[in-house]
């Protein structure tokens, strides 16, 4: 369970109202928003999310289309040749660390969790390469378990711009959002925001004039680095 964040925003009626309006607009605008990574089982989901760090989902899907045909079981990953695997995933970036994490996670799953991806936050966080974002995505999509909110770069950027957080680290942003949003909204909220980040609230060139939130977004005073 996430620890209480002493820097969490004060939950005022105004901020609560802002969050409620934002969620409502996102739900209506992106009703079909969901994870876009391709996978056929829980371990493939885990692999995909690990590979998605600092990489687009589109590129990850391009890589895993071949990867999942080459490696079929958790044991296949656990016994994979490191150098060969590095080349298999090279285009996702940071491929050496990702290789160590995927192979290491596979070994731990076999040795400690009976060959199955664990279904608790505490256990998932023991796996190499797994922080809360990855754990939240796996828990929600694989097991229907919601313990938090997955925070990626889109979530960081969009929620800061919309004034729902002033934090810059994923853990603290997650805590702020968990304090603002009802739990039943946590899982879908990530995917609504990701869609909005891709379609409108771009990192370099946000389409503010076309944005559904142009009357809600406190653009004045936002740290310029969030527009770069």
Active-site positions?
133, 152
CB under 8 A, 24+ apart: contacts of 119-126: 119/143, 119/145, 121/1, 121/147, 121/148
Q: Quick one: which of 89, 87, 32, 37 has its CA closest to 58?
A: 37
Report the alpha-carbon distance of residue 213 to residue 30 in Å, rounded.
14
What 3-state class would DSSP assign to 5? coil
Residues 6+ apart with CB under 8 A from 199: none
Q: What is the phi-psi region of residue 38: left when phi exceeds 0, alpha when psi lies from -120 to 50, beta otherwise?
A: beta
Q: Is 55 annotated as a binding residue?
A: no
Q: Is 211 annotated as a binding residue?
A: yes
Could you tell me which residues are annotated as the binding site for [4Fe-4S] cluster? 201, 208, 211, 217
């Amino acid at each position: 369970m996430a620890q209480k964040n002493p820097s969490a925003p004060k939950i005022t009626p105004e901020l609560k109202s802002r969050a409620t309006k934002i969620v409502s607009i996102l739900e209506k605008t992106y009703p079909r928003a969901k994870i876009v990574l391709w996978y056929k089982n829980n371990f493939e989901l885990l692999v995909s999310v690990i590979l998605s760090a600092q990489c687009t989902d589109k590129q990850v899907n391009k890589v895993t289309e071949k990867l999942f045909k080459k490696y079929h079981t958790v044991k296949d990953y656990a016994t994979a040749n490191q150098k060969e695997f590095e080349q298999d995933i090279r285009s996702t970036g940071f491929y050496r660390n990702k290789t160590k994490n995927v192979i290491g996670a596979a070994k731990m799953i076999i040795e400690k969790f009976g060959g199955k991806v664990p279904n608790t936050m505490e256990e998932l966080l023991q796996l190499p390469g797994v922080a809360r974002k990855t754990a939240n995505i796996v828990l929600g999509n694989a097991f229907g378990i919601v313990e938090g909110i997955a925070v990626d770069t889109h979530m960081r950027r969009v929620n800061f711009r919309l004034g729902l957080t002033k934090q810059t680290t994923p853990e603290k942003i997650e805590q702020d959002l968990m304090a603002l949003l009802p739990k039943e909204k946590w899982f879908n909220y990530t995917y609504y925001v990701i869609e909005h980040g891709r379609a409108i609230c771009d990192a370099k060139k946000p389409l503010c004039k076309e944005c559904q939130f142009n009357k809600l977004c406190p653009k004045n005073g936002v740290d310029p680095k969030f527009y770069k």
